[in-house]
Each structure stands twice: as structure tokens, then as C-alpha cells.
Amino acid sequence: MTGKRTLPTGAHFMSGDIACAEGAIAAGCRFFAGYPITPATEIAEHLSERMPEFGGIYIQMEDEIASIAAVLGASYAGLKAMTATSGPGFSLMQENIGLAVMTETPCVIVDIMRGGPSTGQPTLPGQQDVMQAKWGSHGDYGIIALAPSSVQEMFNLTIEAFNLAETYRVPTLLMGDEIVAHMWEKVVIPPTSEIRIVNRKKPHVSPSEYAPFMPEDDLVPPMACFGEGYRFHATGLTHDERGYPRTQNSEVQTRLVRRLCEKINKNADKIIKVEEVMLEDADVVVVAYGIVARAALSAVRKAREAGIKAGLLRLITLWPFPEKHVARIAGQAKAIVVPEMNCGQIVREVERAVKGTPVSFLSKLGEDPHTPHEILDVVRRCS
Amino acid sequence: MVQEVVHPFAKYLRSAMMPHIWCPGCGNGIVLNCFVHALDELQKDLDKLVVVSGIGCIGRTAGYTNADSFHTTHGRAIAFATGVKLANPELEVVIISGDGDLFAIGGNHFIHAARRNIGIKVICANNFNYGMTGGQQGPTTPLEASTTTTPYGNIEHPFNLVHLAAASGATYVARWTTLHVRRLTQSIKRMLQKEGFCFIEVVSPCPEIFGRRNKMRTGLEMMEWFRRASVVENFSDPSKAEISPEKIVVGEFVNTEKVSYERLLHEKIAQINEKVMGW
Ligand code: SF4
């Protein structure tokens, strides 16, 4: 019997927001708290319909701060939890993203980027939040951020975001943009049995021996949840492995904050995903992500047709930054081109990684993303 | 050989986190004491209890209680607790926090949780100021009171917390002072047996920071004020429940039954599944 409850295995025509919502359900997400904001609203709308069919919780909170706080509470109470927002709401969430980092709360935050600053352009795309994703909350920390380029990836990477969040006990960000969120494309949803799902590791000691922030070799501590009898404490204050506040102790602060950064940095090779197209012999390499990477791919193909040895490095993981991949291509290429829908964010990371290879930055703001021809022109000039 | 004497309530406290950080004469310890008594009298299962706090002196209570506990960011305890309660309605979720945390930065979450009638229980220690950050003016600071940011006397009208809670839809609303230890304990017990959103305000002395600037230098002097001024007016109009140098109206203001958000939610989920799956 196929009830509506079953995941829609097979090929579908759907929007990016809906694909993201379905990806969350497929990943095992059973709690969504959010606040309506364009262009992320359809994720909430779709989950308000779908969540109950899986026994999951949908709640519209009073604002974005409440939404992320409720997500953390639900995660600590044992559910996989998510919220979705756009730039202004993402800004409001930053303090509690820091709390999620500090208390090592697995959760997923979807930020559908629109043009900013401030209310900006609610219905138009941007890539202006990618630095906010890395540095938005106060203090030092490691975080994971993924950038989907297609509706299919809105589905796939939402699942991946949950898996990473659960593996590393870290808030994981899905940084889409208005175009991938609103466009409709074919999406293939595999049978449930073929979807890889990761769950947080649980403690294997008795409650009296349990220290909620004692890391294992991968630098990630096993996680007990509320009501399981472990009776632990978690706080946003600097804390020792038992979770007790140690705000005056520089050694504890150093040990904790370094680990929060290192559990991401030291596992970067396992986390990072990129797509490499025609890079083997490329003289000019375009580095792009999100919707812009699709125009970049087209530009690279056109360049090849015109006899220019061009290639594409598509960043799927934005944070931790795929530094090694960028450095490697810089070693062989004559020029690098970075098109972005902002005034220069990821291009700075590229420049830091390439040391010496000339980088051309192609900035676009406003309505449409880059066209293949706009990127091709720059590729041509660099070749 | 001296036998080790264990306090009968030791099991309710996270002894490894002691000593606590509170000043002598502070009311926070009394709030915790009454809470623990209520837990004991009800024989509450500590494995199913979650204590959540925001930021401030009383916010440390979460850490001192030997249950699952979480110390959130400033003002967000209720929003966090909402996620906990919905994700696992079996858990008893209690928030113990301060007036600044719950009603300044957290005011929006408070009224919405009360409106939804989420089954979380809120105990607010109201000491009329921001003790931990050095005694600044807050949303309950009385008119003309002196604080570190109202050196010429406060000119902002304070919130009447029980009125606010009642108007927002709380199903249980009470106010006591830290002098009323038995009634406060009874009140907490009553609250813990209710289904929906419940609120207890505890007027609490902060002699070190607030009292010092307002001619009540010790905890005892503040307690003297509570003794002199408190009047029990059960089920009186919460809008008229004043707190002034002359009169502190205490009592139980609201005690009604209303189906909780989480029950409606889980009933709805069951209905939807019946329809969808034909179960
Ligand atoms: S500052 Fe005031 S509220 Fe804080 S512990 Fe001291 S007396 Fe208590």
C-alpha cells in the first residue's frame, strides 16, 4: 500500500524549496520551527503539510530567534530539527547559532539568500550571506555550509546537511539562493533504502560516568538527550567536559574553543565536496558555487568550443573552505575567474589560497545571475 | 568513624557545581529550595525533568538542579523549552529565570508561549533589576527606584507580570515573595500538576545590588518590606495586583483548565494520519 506518507520515490518536477523540505523528511527531520520570509517560505508551507504525515512537528514561531532556539531545544530532546530563513532572519539567528556551536547541537539551518543588506530584494537572488555563514556569530568556531546549484541538490544536500550535523554535532547551513529555491526542475528521489542516513552517536557509558562534552578521537563527544536518564547540563558559557561553567579558566577556554574549530578543520577532507569539470589541462579555471556555477559551466563549455582550455571548480562545500582544491588548481592554471553575486566574498578566500595566480573577480548584484557570456568574456580575456 | 551525613535533598542538587555563585541574602536560593521541596513532595521523576534558564543570577538554577538542564542565551529560555516540550511531551519542562531575561529581551516569547498554552512551567524571580550585570534598570523596576542606569530615579512604568501572564492566556498565574516559602512551594506543586502554560512570579530580594541603592541594604531588610507590605488576595483582579512600597498583592490569580498546545498538536497529527492512511 502506498499511503501519502511514503516518500515520493522516482522522478518529480518540483521547486527547490519543496525539494529541500522533502530532503529534510528523507533525512529523518521530525521538527521544523520557522518564521515566514521570502524566498524560503515554501519550505515551511510544504513542511506544515508533510510533517504531520510522518508524526513530525511543524510550528510557526513568533520570530526567527524563537525558531532557532526551539530547533536547539528539539534537537536536545532527541529529534532531528531544522529551520529555514533568508538573510534578515539569518542575521537574527546568529546569536543562537553560536549557542548551537557552543553546546554542539546538531541541527540544520537553511538560508535562502536574497539581495541585501537589510530588507533588500526579497524576491531576487544573492550570494551575500556566505561570509555571514562563517563569521556571523560572535567568537571563534568551525561551521559547515553547503551551496546547492540545482533543485536536485536542494534535495541531496539537505540530507547531507543533516548527516554532517549529526556526525560532527555542529549546526550545518544550507546556503541556497532565491533561484535554486524558486525554480522548478526534475528531481529524482531514490528509494528510502538507498538514502544514506547518519544519526548522532550515543554515549556508551553509564550516566554517572557520562561527560557530555568529552570528545572521542574524532573530536566529537557522544550525545545523550533529555529524558534518557543521563541528567547532564549544557550551557553557552565556557564549560569543561562535564558541561560545568568555567568562565574564568583560560585553559578550559582554549581547550574548548580550539576543539570546536578543530573538529571541523581536522575533518575537513572528509567533509569537503567539490565538482571538478575539465580541470586536467585547464589554463583558466572558473571557481563558482550555487546558481552562478551553472552559468560558469556553460561558459567553460563554450570556451572549450572556442579552443580555450577552461575548467570549472564548483564549490559544493563553502565552509570549511576547500582550500587545498583551490591551491591545487592554482598551481597549474594561468588565471582564475571568480563570478559571484556579491561585492566579493568567496573571492577573498580564493585569493588567500592561490598565492600569486591572478584572480579576476566578476561581481554581479541585483536581478539576474551571471549569463554564460558574461563569464565567457572574462575567461577569454584571461586566456 | 564518623558517618557521612547526606542532606535529604542532596539528590536534587548537582553537588559538584557547588558552591553556588549567589550573594548572601539573595532570594534565589529560596526559590530553588521551594522548587526542590515541591519536586520532593510530588516525588517527581528527575530523569524526566528538564530545567531551562536564561541569563542572569537566577539563570544558574538550571545548572544547580540535578536533572537534564540547559542554560540558554539571554531571553530565549522559553523558545528553547518550547522545542523541548513539543519534541517530547513526556518531559516536565520548567523554566526558572529572571525578570529581565523573561520580560525584557524575552517578553515576546513569553506572551506567545502563554497564548499557545504550551505546557511549560515558568518561575520568574523578580528582583526589579539586572543583578548580574551590576544593577541596571529593567522592565519591573518600580517608578522612582534608583538603579545604576536610573541614578535620578526610574521614570518607566513597570510591567505587572501577573496581569501580563493572565492577559496572555496562562492557565495558572500566581505571585508570592520569598517570604512565603510554604505557599510558594504549594503553588509550584499545583503548577507542576497542571497541563498548560503556568506562571509564578516570586518577588525576590537582591540586597547586594538593588536593595543597597534603595535603602534596604540587607536581605533581612528586604524581607522586612515583604512582611510589612504583602497582602494575600487570592483570585483578585491581576490588573490591580500592585507592587509598591506600601503594598505587595500576592496570591493565586488564575487557575483554569485549557487544552495544551502539545495535546492539540498530537491529536491533530493522529487525525491526519488516520485520514491519510485509513488507519
Ligand atoms: S546580585 Fe542580586 S540577584 Fe544576583 S546573586 Fe547577588 S543578590 Fe542575588
Task: List, as ranges, residues 67-106 from A with C-beta within 8 Å of B.
Answer: 67, 69-79, 81, 95-96, 98-99, 103
Answer whether B276 sits within 8 Å of A5, measured CB to CB: yes
Answer whether A99 sits within 8 Å of B72, measured CB to CB: yes
When comparing pLDDT for A75 and B279, which is higher? A75
The pLDDT of A331-357, averaged and rounded, is 96
**Closest of B31, B106, B61 to residue A235, by C-alpha:** B61
> Is the CB of B126 inside 8 Å of chain A's CB atoms?
no
d(CA B278, CA A143): 43
Q: What is the pLDDT of residue A354?
A: 94
Does B57 score more than 90 pLDDT? yes
Answer whether B70 sits within 8 Å of A77, measured CB to CB: no
**Closest of B226, B154, B152 to residue B184, by C-alpha:** B226
**Closest of A340, A23, A16 to residue A180, by C-alpha:** A16
d(CA B77, CA A234): 13
Choose the closest CB to B91 out of A4, A30, A227: A227
Concatenate the DSSP letters of all residues of A89-133 into one string. Answer: HHHHHHHHHHHHHHTT--EEEEEEEEE-STT-EEEEE--TTHHHH
Q: What is the per-residue burial (b if ≥16 Cβ within 10 Å, else e) of B62-87?
A: bbbbbbbbbbbbbbbbbbbbbbbbbb
d(CA B36, CA B42): 10
d(CA B194, CA B118): 11
Q: Write the ipTM.
A: 0.97
Mean pLDDT across chain B, nearest whole number? 96
Answer whether A61 sits within 8 Å of B66, measured CB to CB: no
Question: Cβ contacts (< 8 Å) between A65 and chain B: which residues?
Answer: 76, 79
Strand, helix or coil for residue A185: strand
Q: What are the tens digits of pLDDT across the range A276-304?
A: 999 999 999 999 999 999 999 999 999 99
List the grid coordinates of B156. 518607566
Answer whether A236 sits within 8 Å of B73, measured CB to CB: yes
Q: What is the pLDDT of residue B279?
A: 43
| Best residue for ligand 1 mutational test, from B132, B136, B148, B214 (most atoms within 8 Å of Cβ) | B132
> Is the CB of B112 inside 8 Å of chain A's CB atoms?
yes
The pLDDT of A340-350, averaged and rounded, is 98
Q: What are the tens digits of pLDDT across the range A171-204?
A: 999 999 999 999 999 999 999 999 999 999 999 9
Q: What are the tens digits of pLDDT across the range A28-52?
A: 999 999 999 999 999 999 999 999 9
Residue with CA closest to ligand 1 atom 8: B26
B273, closest residue in chain A (CA to CA): A53
Report percent pLDDT > 70 for chain A. Answer: 98
d(CA B201, CA B187): 10
Question: Cβ contacts (< 8 Å) between A229 and chain B: which residues?
Answer: 47
Q: What is the pLDDT of residue A5?
A: 67
The pLDDT of B53-65, averaged and rounded, is 96
Mean pLDDT across chain A, nearest whole number? 96
> Is the CB of A186 inside 8 Å of chain B's CB atoms?
no
Q: What is the pLDDT of residue A44?
A: 98
Answer whether A227 sits within 8 Å of B90, measured CB to CB: yes
Q: What is the pLDDT of residue B273?
A: 87
- Ligand 1 center to residue B57 CA distance, Å? 6
Question: Cβ contacts (< 8 Å) between A72 and chain B: which residues?
Answer: 72, 80, 83
Q: What are the tens digits of pLDDT across the range A114-137?
A: 999 999 999 999 999 999 999 999
The pLDDT of A363-382, averaged and rounded, is 95
C-beta separation of B106 from B80 below 8 A = no
The pLDDT of A371-382, averaged and rounded, is 97
Q: What is the per-residue burial (b if ≥16 Cβ within 10 Å, else e) of A41-73?
A: bbbbbbbeebbbbbebbbbebbbbbbbbbbbbb
Q: What is the pLDDT of residue A1?
A: 34
Does A3 score more than 80 pLDDT? no
The pLDDT-based confidence of A257 (bands split at 50, 70, 90) is very high
Q: What are the tens digits of pLDDT across the range B208-217?
A: 999 999 999 9
List the grid coordinates of B211. 536593595
